[in-house]
Amino acid sequence: MTAEPSGDVTQLLVDWSNGDGDALDKLMPVVYDELHDLAARYLRRERQGHTLQTTALVNEAYLRLIDQTRIDWKNSLQFYALAARMMRRILVDHARSHRYKKRGGGAPKIPLDDAPQISVERAPDYVAVDDALKELAEIDPELASIVELRFFGGFKNSEIGQHLGMSVPTIVRRWRVAKAWLYRYMTSQATDGA
């Protein structure tokens, strides 16, 4: 995360949640660059030719964020963490839609011999990662938050610690546990599905 006037963001969020409509208009220019960087990090992991562009991801996430009217905003980290979660949800929804269309999605069925040759490019399987994070959240919600903030949100350990109220060494230890759990889970899912 880059340094931005987090006090300004926090104050705008508080003002907005207190009903100040002008605060919302002032918020986007202040947070746009950080949201754009966050979206770019997500999309760097995507396959070539992905139909969702960085600006579209930012705009969709922002629209979902401004629908969050019942949040008691405490700081800018809370906002960016929620933005990271929204972007992940958007990409998961997009991936699920892409899988649906890829598998026919209501299109007429044609014989396999008539189907064109398709090249498959490896991209992150957001659906599989989302499933893994949901499973991890059931076991240990704190670990799932650390993964989401660090891997998807690009937060530093100190920022995660501040957001979750933990020390940096604790975040480092918990990150190692989360990575090991995800590796085991994803590996077992890959072998079970094969």
Report pLDDT digits (tens) over 150-190: 877 778 999 899 888 999 999 999 999 998 998 888 888 77
Torsion 148-153-154-155 (CA) sign: negative
Residue 61 CA to residue 184 CA, distance in Å, equals 31
Quickly count: other Cβ atoms within 10 Å of residue 192's Cβ.
7
Per-residue pLDDT band at 66 (split at 50, 70, 90): confident
Quickly count: other Cβ atoms within 10 Å of residue 136's Cβ.
21
User: pLDDT value at position 136?
Assistant: 92
Radius of gyration from C-alpha coordinates of the chain: 19
pLDDT tens, residue by residue, 76-118: 888 888 888 888 888 888 877 766 555 444 444 444 344 344 3
**167 vs 133 pLDDT, higher one:** 167
The identity of residue 61, as a single letter, is A
Q: What is the mean pLDDT of the chain?
A: 78
Q: Which of these, 34, 24, 33, lies nearest to 65 by C-alpha position?
A: 24
pTM, to two decimals: 0.62
Quickly count: other Cβ atoms within 10 Å of residue 149's Cβ.
26
The CATH fold of domain 1-105: Rna Polymerase Sigma Factor; Chain: A (1.10.1740)
User: pLDDT value at position 171?
Assistant: 95
- Per-domain boundaries in the chain: 1-105, 125-194
CB 65 within 8 A of CB 138: no
Percent pLDDT > 90 in the chain is 14
**Which residues, in sequence order, are CB contacts of 191 under 8 Å at separation 6+?**
none
Please provide the CATH number assigned to the domain covering 125-194.
1.10.10.10
